[in-house]
Chain A
């Protein structure tokens, strides 16, 4: 597979994952805010903003309307839902011949559909509905990606992008909920419920731990559950698996850097103990995950995408 094509598929998938994540956060938040006091809602919206944007949140609006506009529909904000979806589509367009018609059209239609949408136009009636519909389209997109693309190298690059992105997004979201922040009231019972819903984890969680909502159990579930697709461990395992499937003809020398880093991260989440983490600062652990994901990303890039000709001739 062409390196440039692999790169586009990888980024397309990362941007789709990010768009889906934003859509879910906004949908859940819009639906849940009616049950909160305005102060609780504001703190909770702030966590959404902080969970999405690592920096540059000082000038962010603090109300639901303004935040929805900024993180979802603002075309000037490069990390908004609509910008991410546009970039996913740009990448898809560059590798159109590698995608199935179903995948391309699902993505293209979703993009075209959101073009005329403004926050004013959705605010009148049940604004969460739009984001729920976007999520439905995203799930359909995921479905056709799974069922109409050949599960070859290109598909593995899509999986790699999706799960590196997911692990990082989860890490950041957990961090704003579990790290102690002097500026902000700590999450309340209802916020823990919302966190589970942010990760589509409410029902799977209750199946395992019953409906008793305990932060430590939530952290354990979202970090270490091996079977739940929106846990950090699940994503890290997928990253490790896909790394073994990409670039089938590459000599082992070039495979080593990324695979070694992924193996190290896998060990971290496979053998992590929640009790230790809760006792000694979970923040450092989460930051470590994010950093290691970035290192894997860089290793993949320099081994398979942008390697120099002199290194292989």
Chain B
């Protein structure tokens, strides 16, 4: 990727001289931070008194010496390069499909060595427990017999795949690629908001952001000792390879729904970076429980499939029969052990919003350890005491339907009208098992380039975890940012952008 950008980003960075730290650091209210408001949220750059935190000083020093239009120019050059590379997603409205770039904010979000060590250890612990949980519920079901997790919650989940019962998976690793959503709360602690265990995306943006941001601030980047994330594709390849039943001539493919999928760029990018084939369902066929791709020279066997399509679409013979994205017969080949699918099928049951509340208990149950990372406090409406508490304080909670994602079936209490709250309360009462409630969290803010200066905007954090026989976490993440002032919604479809994330080596 770096070479690609060298070829395309003419005149992008420019000289980047780092002013020695210790020079006067600007504070909120002073240019370029004229509009920078510190609120209740934790701010990544300024402490509560408005002093720049030590690990942001080199960047701050650089920013105060850059003319505002210079920053603007670099921002535009960055956006143009994304457009030319085709790093876009498609927005459909009316009959017209428009390609848009996901806006990248040039100002990196910086995480210290100590913070990262805690995140890393906590995520490794978490994915280990989640894998043990999956192995358990698709196996003997100890956790259910011991009453740690309610049986109905697992078997009632629409992401539970009965077909997976007793199907062995390599190294017992169900989740091979995971992208957890984390946020930093008002107290400055990182907490896990969601475990994405199905087909998490965004890692290509992590890598693409690094490329442009490193070019925009080469001097600062070098001087701060930012840890490298370049090796992600190699690590992913090694993880996939380790799942194969044998070790030579392993044939790996990335399975994409196709060019119309909004994450298609990422699928193609990862295939290219790993040097493996990018395939669609129609490229694959199954004969005698062996999976092949159709090539010009004939059929070629496939051993490991990194699938970027949902469980439902993998095999029309077993799952949704109206789907043409998958491959008829694939699941039987999988069950016969002739092909590995990563992530395994049925992982969605463990990133359900209600199951999420049980992850700390899983960690204690399987690992006999205390969770290193906290959850966001979650009330399960299925429990009577929680239900009455939630209903009494509906104006303070975010209530989510368990099986939904992408912001559907959700009530944001503080922003809802009385009528909306009453309507939602009725829904909760009629089907309490289907709802959970969480207090609204003020996501932390990070300096973000806006028209005319730098202001704080709310951000989250999505690190990427690879897991097979061992767990690997590349020291970096996708930081998503709500570009609208005051907004807490970081989704790219709703005005969100992203940032490079710098993890410092010391």
Are A309's CB and B296's CB within 8 A? no
- Residues of A93-128 at the interface with B, using a CB-CB cut-off of 8 Å, are 93-94, 96-97, 101-102, 104-105, 108-109, 112
Q: Does B277 contact A (CB under 8 A)?
A: yes
Q: Does A307 contact B (CB under 8 A)?
A: yes
- Residues of B265-300 at the interface with A, using a CB-CB cut-off of 8 Å, are 265, 268-269, 271-272, 277-280, 282-283, 285, 287, 292-299
Q: Find the residue from B268, B272, B287, B294 having the highest chain A CB count within 10 A.
A: B294
Residues of A within 8 A of B (CB): 1-4, 6, 90, 93-94, 96-97, 101-102, 104-105, 108-109, 112, 153, 246-251, 304-305, 307, 309, 312-313
Measured between alpha carbons, how far is A96 from B85 in the docked complex, in Å?
A: 10
- Could you say which residues of chain A place their CB within 8 Å of the CB of B7? 101-102, 105
If A2-B293, A112-B83, A249-B297 are given as contacts, then 10 extra A-B residue pairs at C-beta distance below 8 Å, sorted by A number, are A1-B296, A1-B297, A94-B258, A102-B7, A108-B85, A109-B84, A153-B296, A248-B297, A250-B298, A251-B298
Give the top 8 A-B pairs by smallest Cβ distance, nearest first: A249-B297, A97-B272, A247-B296, A101-B4, A304-B296, A97-B268, A96-B268, A3-B294
Count of chain B residues near A, Cβ 8 A: 32
Known A2-B295, A312-B298, A312-B299; contact A97-B278, beta-carbon cutoff 8 A: yes
Measured between alpha carbons, how far is A118 from B280 in the docked complex, in Å?
A: 36
Known A101-B8, A109-B84, A247-B296; contact A2-B259, beta-carbon cutoff 8 A: no
- Among A105, A249, A307, A309, contact of B84 (Cβ-Cβ < 8 Å): A105
- Residues of B286-316 at the interface with A, using a CB-CB cut-off of 8 Å, are 287, 292-299
Are B8's CB and A94's CB within 8 A? no
Q: Does B495 contact A (CB under 8 A)?
A: no
Are B283's CB and A4's CB within 8 A? yes
Known A4-B283, A94-B259; contact A105-B294, beta-carbon cutoff 8 A: no
- Could you say which residues of chain B place their CB within 8 Å of the CB of A102? 7
Are B86's CB and A108's CB within 8 A? yes
Measured between alpha carbons, how far is A96 from B293 in the docked complex, in Å?
A: 19
Are A108's CB and B84's CB within 8 A? yes
Residue of chain A at shortest CB distance from B253? A2
Measured between alpha carbons, how far is A196 from B258 in the docked complex, in Å?
A: 43
Are A1's CB and B295's CB within 8 A? yes
Are A2's CB and B294's CB within 8 A? yes
- Could you say which residues of chain B place their CB within 8 Å of the CB of A3? 283, 294-296
Measured between alpha carbons, how far is A110 from B309 in the docked complex, in Å?
A: 32
Known A4-B280, A105-B84, A105-B85; contact A309-B285, beta-carbon cutoff 8 A: yes
Are B83's CB and A305's CB within 8 A? no
Closest approach, in angstroms, between the C-beta of A193 and any C-beta of chain B? Answer: 39
Closest approach, in angstroms, between the C-beta of A101 and any C-beta of chain B? Answer: 4
- Could you say which residues of chain A place their CB within 8 Å of the CB of B83? 112
Measured between alpha carbons, how far is A309 from B292 in the docked complex, in Å?
A: 10
Residue of chain B at shortest CB distance from A306? B294
- Could you say which residues of chain B place their CB within 8 Å of the CB of A6? 296
Closest approach, in angstroms, between the C-beta of A206 and any C-beta of chain B? Answer: 39
The 28 listed contacts between A and B (C-beta, < 8 Å) are A1-B296, A2-B277, A2-B283, A2-B293, A2-B294, A3-B295, A3-B296, A4-B279, A4-B282, A94-B258, A96-B268, A96-B272, A101-B4, A101-B7, A101-B85, A102-B7, A104-B86, A105-B7, A108-B84, A108-B86, A109-B84, A246-B296, A250-B297, A251-B298, A307-B294, A309-B292, A309-B294, A312-B299
- Could you say which residues of chain A place their CB within 8 Å of the CB of B280? 4
- Could you say which residues of chain B place their CB within 8 Å of the CB of A97? 268-269, 271-272, 278
Residue of chain A at shortest CB distance from B5? A101
Closest approach, in angstroms, between the C-beta of A256 and any C-beta of chain B? Answer: 15
Measured between alpha carbons, how far is A285 from B83 in the docked complex, in Å?
A: 47
Residue of chain B at shortest CB distance from A305? B296
Measured between alpha carbons, how far is A6 from B85 in the docked complex, in Å?
A: 22
Closest approach, in angstroms, between the C-beta of A21 and any C-beta of chain B? Answer: 25
Measured between alpha carbons, how far is A247 from B7 in the docked complex, in Å?
A: 32
- Could you say which residues of chain B place their CB within 8 Å of the CB of A112? 83-84
Residue of chain B at shortest CB distance from A310? B287
